[in-house]
Chain A
Amino acid sequence: MPKSPAPLLQGTLDLIVLQLLRAEPTNGYDLSLRIQAISRDVLQVNAGSLYPALYRLEERGLIKAEWRDTPKGRRAKVYSLTTSGRNQLAEQRQNWARFSGALASILETT
């Protein structure tokens, strides 16, 4: 039986978006599919959470957006990381590593 999707920990969506956009600039829909695919359906982010996160990051100057033509002849808004975004991502990755390491240590105690 497939497991139900896990709830996103608060504050982690920004980190996820930054990380995935660093790998490859993309639009909002593709990004939501990618999150689902890479996490093997553990994480499912709906539009109601994703787009506010994208706009928030854009407003903070960590990502930027531009309209590009798609292969299908339509236009899509593609997001990519800015320099500040890269720096912020590095910092957040470090913070996450420290946090998860500490949490792991605690959970290993009997």
Chain B
Amino acid sequence: MLRARAIVARRALDRDMREEMREHLEQSAERLVARGMTPADARAAAQREFGNVGVLQEQARDIRGARWMHDIPADASFALRYFARHKATTAIIVTVLALATGANTLIFSMFQAQFLRPAPAMPSVDAHVRIWGRQRATQTARWQPRGFSITEFNSLAERREVFRDIAAWTQDEVVLGGGDRTSARTVQAQFVTPNFFRALGVMLSAGQGLRESADDTPDMTAVMAYAMAEQLFGSAGIAMGQRVVVNELPLRIVGVAPPRFQGALRGMNEPALWIPASARAPVVRVSPRWLTDESALSVVGRLAANASRAQATGLARQVTLASLPDSAARVGMARTADVIGMNAPPPGDDDNETMLAFTAILGIGILILLVGCTNVSSLMVASAVGRRHEIAVRISLGASRARLVRQLVTESTLLAITGSAIGLTAAWWALTYMMKTEIDAVDLSPDAGTFAFVFVMALATGVLFGLAPALHAIRDGAAAALRDSGAGAGGRSRLQRGFVVAQITLSQPLLVLLGTMLSLVITEYQPLSKEMSRRVVAMEFRPIKTGAPSERAEAVDSLVPRIAEHAAVLSAVPDATGFAIRGIVAAGRGDSLSKIVTMEGAAPGWFGVVDVPIMLGRDVSFADTVETSSVPVVIGSDLARQLWGDAGAVGRTLVSPSLPGWNQDSIAMTVVGVYDATRRIPGMSWDGGIARGDKPVRVYTARGKQWRHDRVLVRTRGLAGPFVPELQRFVRARAPSLPVMSMLTLAQSDDRAYTEALKNVAMIGAAATLALLLASLGLYGIVSLAVRQRTREIGIRIAVGAEPIQVARMFLGSGARAGLTALALGLPLSVAALRVGLAKGLVIAPQVNPYLIGLAIALVLLAVAAAATWIPARRAALVEPAVTLRVD
């Protein structure tokens, strides 16, 4: 009770106590006056007899408890005055905490948006569920994800007591033209059941939406995405009733989705259109029986009021089991289903992408916080060591250790609060800005929960890391501290040095990993030459379900020369692709110089379309497709130089022996041409299994016609962009059974890849800069404090004849030693981090040797350490000895 009063009525209790002691003194003085003393003498004697009122009052407060309530305002005020006197150190500590807090907030917010939140503009309703289907081919095979057929969907929809509402969709890429006639674009479209928006509880921002009718006639309407409507028509309202052309067919816009809506789930690749499922057959040019014949539907639903997920799961499993033919069941095939939350990760996924990302993100967040906190702690250790004189004096005046610790903790708490507040504010601005400027597939709005969590974490770590130096500082007795403090020996703290080493050690693996990823992005994504990429269209055809593979290949191959007949077309060829990896040796060479190469199938004229000149010999030709004893190949100029130097390569023979364990025959190859390997080659290449770190060496041949039969490159006379809609009409007229899946100029797909790569570079660059900034700020801060503490020593050395530059070099040496120790410790950590990164697939070995990157980063860190040490040392060395010796 008294303790409660001690907190609540502190002032009243203090007043009581003062009055009580005053009364005691008065009574004592009266007694002495009665003995004959003068009033003045009596009062003085009573005071002496009583003792130190202030100390007594402090003791009384200690007994009452809740001293801290009284001390906090005083401690805070003292702390603020201290910060004002040491602006630079305070600024550095606050900056470090702000950086660490801000970075962590961004990381956790983005993680939450990516993996935990509902999709943008989706209402967060517990009853919304996703029905996730799986199938395995045999008893021992792994479960694979599986969609649902319309029969299964209808069976589920019938059971209104379990699913109040249920909707389905499937997604395709379509070519959208309309509004802006100069270029068609490839977009994602979801083909949905008509009740899609209603079932999800999503309100359209314009229009009535899709018609819910019972008949199966194709409903050629669409709901358009908000951003697309704004882009094409200026506003959602204007888009209503407009016609757009999708895969050459007109559709009428009957609704516009709410802003930022992009489907029921995250990561749907931002569909631009929602089209009734009944229209899929004509638009995508598949058989109308796709609904019944294929299990292509993704299903979401809303549980009925009294239905549980377990109940729904039971029903879903029943339905999927019923859909399994007996014959399949007999050979061990199985199907199952689970009803899960809308945002939950799919079940049964061991190598879950979510878990990997979660671990990586958490790891990075913790690493950044750790780096930030070691910074702060080392700075506070240095600061506390520098205040030993002050602390010693206070101990001699009677302050208890607990009191001093409380005061130091108050200081670190204030710093933690300030730093976190700044960091959180910066993160909030950043998130809001990112939301405004990007049509994101995720919901990035700042979340109170995340912010509170990060704030508490930052506060706790800030206080904890402030406590350690506080305890360290008051560990020694007052006498020892007073003896020590005058001589400026405070900078020798082993703890301080240890923190510097820990700083660089921890930063190194992070920077090496980031540097590796950065170099990978930079070297991997070089843009194609604009001259070429703007004049080449890549057409991809949907694989046809019916017919043998050779028939399909024939269909595309026979289309190609007909495309080339068009007046606007310069040439058309199937795209090249890798089909094998082989080891090769130059025939007739004494040594055993061998290389691993990717065999690529290229059609005649391909090199011309992609602007890669043939420097020597000839291109592949149709004659090469005939079986002969030796395979005619076109090799790169780099390989030619490696094998035969400046002597000609044309006519030479390469041997590819059959290797044990590789299921390949031994073949001989004759070089018929050499292409310019310095040119960037577009398109995909299968390089699975190629030795990591080597640039893939490509060898082209027409043998076996092993080029792509589903992708054609068309080189136009003028710019390709405006030609795309015409090209699509042309192809459809001549090959109606070959549905075009996508049609993009190489420039467009390159731009997409490049924008993606730039985004990655920006993010990685920001992370790397942050890590380096944290490391360098911490280093600079500690070292300049250490120099400051040894200012007396510097003054003495200069006074007895040392050159200022010698003194400065002394610090540089010690700083370099600390840096080298840390680098030596960090090296195995970096190697380990790189190994883990490669194993987990976080990084692919880039063309630059990662160890080279590690060395470069080590040099950078060393340079930063040197600069951090040199600048303050030089500053100190330039001060007059008389001035430095005055400093305590």
- Cα separation A74 to B27 with both chains bound (whole Å): 10
- Of the listed stretches B17-25, B135-143, B574-582, name the one at the interface; the rest are far from the partner chain: B17-25
Q: Are B26 and A28 in contact (CB under 8 A)?
A: no
A29 lies within 8 A of B65 (CB): no
B63 touches A74 (CB 8 A): no
Contacts of B3 in A (CB 8 A): 59
**Contacting residues, chain A, for B26 (C-beta < 8 A):** 74
29 residue pairs of the A-B complex, CB under 8 angstroms, read A27-B20, A27-B23, A27-B24, A29-B23, A29-B24, A29-B28, A30-B27, A46-B49, A46-B51, A47-B21, A47-B24, A47-B49, A47-B51, A47-B56, A48-B50, A48-B52, A48-B55, A48-B56, A52-B60, A52-B63, A55-B63, A56-B63, A58-B2, A59-B64, A61-B2, A74-B23, A75-B19, A75-B23, A76-B20
Since A27-B23, A61-B1, A74-B23 are in contact, a sample of 12 more A-B pairs with Cβ atoms closer than 8 Å, ordered by chain A residue number, is: A28-B20, A28-B24, A29-B27, A29-B28, A30-B27, A47-B21, A48-B52, A52-B59, A58-B2, A67-B16, A75-B23, A76-B23
**Taking CB as reference atom, which chain A residue is nearest B60?**
A55
Cβ < 8 Å to A, chain B residues 775-820: none
Q: How far is the CB of A75 from chain B (nearest CB, A)?
A: 7
Which residues 18-53 of A have a CB within 8 angstroms of B?
27-30, 46-48, 51-52
The count of chain B contact residues (Cβ–Cβ below 8 Å) is 23
A63 to B49, CA, bound (A): 25
A5 to B: closest C-beta gap in Å = 13
B1-42 Cβ-contact flags toward A at 8 Å (1 or 0):
111000000000000100111011011100000000000000
Number of A-B pairs, beta carbon distance below 8 Å: 57
Asked if residues A59 and B56 are in contact (CB atoms below 8 Å), the reply is no
Q: Mark A45-84, 1 if CB is under 8 A from B, else 0.
A: 0111001100110110100000100000011110000000
Closest residue of chain A to B16, judged by CB?
A77
Per the 8 Å Cβ criterion, residues 293-333 of B in contact with A are: none
When distances are taken between beta carbons in the complex, the residues of chain B under 8 Å from A46 are: 49-51
**4 nearest A-B pairs in the assembled complex, by CB-CB distance:** A29-B27, A29-B24, A48-B51, A55-B63
In the complex, A76→B26 CA distance in Å? 11
Taking the closest CB of chain B, its distance from the CB of A82, in whole angstroms, is: 12
Q: Is the CB of B64 within 8 A of A55?
A: yes
- Given A47-B50, A55-B64, do A77 and B23 touch, yes or no (CB 8 Å)? yes
Instruction: Give the shortest distance, in Å, between A36 (CB) and chain B (any CB).
Output: 12
Minimal Cβ-Cβ distance residue in B for A46? B51
Residue numbers in A under 8 Å from B2 (CB-CB): 58-59, 61
B838 to chain A, nearest CB (A): 65
Q: Give, as a whole number of angstroms, the nearest-CB distance from B54 to chain A.
A: 12
B23: A residues at CB distance < 8 A: 27, 29, 74-77
Separation in Å of the A108 CB from the closest CB of chain B?
Answer: 39
Q: Given A27-B23, A28-B24, are A52 and B65 also a contact pair (CB < 8 Å)?
A: no
The CA of A58 and the CA of B60, in the complex, are separated in Å by 11
B contact residues around A51 at 8 Å (CB): 20-21, 56, 59-60
Residues of B within 8 A of A29 (CB): 23-24, 27-28
Note all chain A residues with C-beta closer than 8 A to B19: 75, 77
